[in-house]
Amino acid sequence: MVKTDIIPCTKEEMSKLIESSIEDEFYYMLFMTAKLTGRRLGEFWGNQKKKEIGRKKIGVKIEYQDGKEIALDKVRKIYKRIPNEFEGGVQVKDIDFDEGTIKIWVLKRRKLIQDETILPKELIQIIKHYIVRNKLKQEDYLFRKVSYGGIQGAVKRFSKKAGIGHKVSFHNFRHYFVTELKRKGWSNDEIRKLTGHKSPQVLTIYDHIVAKDIKSKALEDLKDI
């Protein structure tokens, strides 16, 4: 779900953000990948492992058995992060340059499921160049050169360098990707297949942003109605 405090980046702002990172090959490669795939940082980097440490009663649910009502406890599992242990994350072997695809490990219901998304030709060349220059092997992780928190900090740093006057986080890349595809007429179901959103309905939150594009035209044309 898109966070309500996300302030969208315009096309000009996104271009400036990417431009500001061009001298750092890691961030340039990462930002371009995020912009052109719309995937989450956790899917690129990986997620910290958690273990179940208990359960908490949060209510009661009613079920029926042999025509009789049975009251059962509703419980929520409680998890604790395991320090320095991660799962998922993109490795070099997850990229198919011939097919132009990248395999992404998505965490759904606390289970890792492998998903796939498309890489444009421009992005394939950028990633290929980065892998060769840094002599990465098939088992190497592509996006773990910097810590998860370090990447989030870098987004803020580069957005400031680009002169963007509002808050920017890594989620802005995903937000931008979805919004631009909606402006091009893509359906929510089509976009979901690239971004890994749980359902098409989740993407309706972007509709009001796209609707703003026609505001000035509507105000002008409504004068004579």
Domains and CATH numbers, the chain: 11-46+88-224 (1.10.443.10), 48-85 (no CATH)
Q: What is the mean pLDDT of residues 115-134?
A: 94
Confidence label for 67 from pLDDT (cuts 50, 70 and 90): confident
What pLDDT, on the 0 to 100 scale, is given for residue 132?
A: 97
- β-strand partners of 81: 50
What pLDDT, on the 0 to 100 scale, is given for residue 3?
A: 46
Which amino acid type is present at position 163? G
| More reliable by pLDDT, 1 or 191 | 191
For residue 83, the surrounding DSSP H or E stretch is: strand 68-87
Cα gap 211→217, rounded to integer Å = 11
Q: Is the pLDDT of residue 219 over 70?
A: no
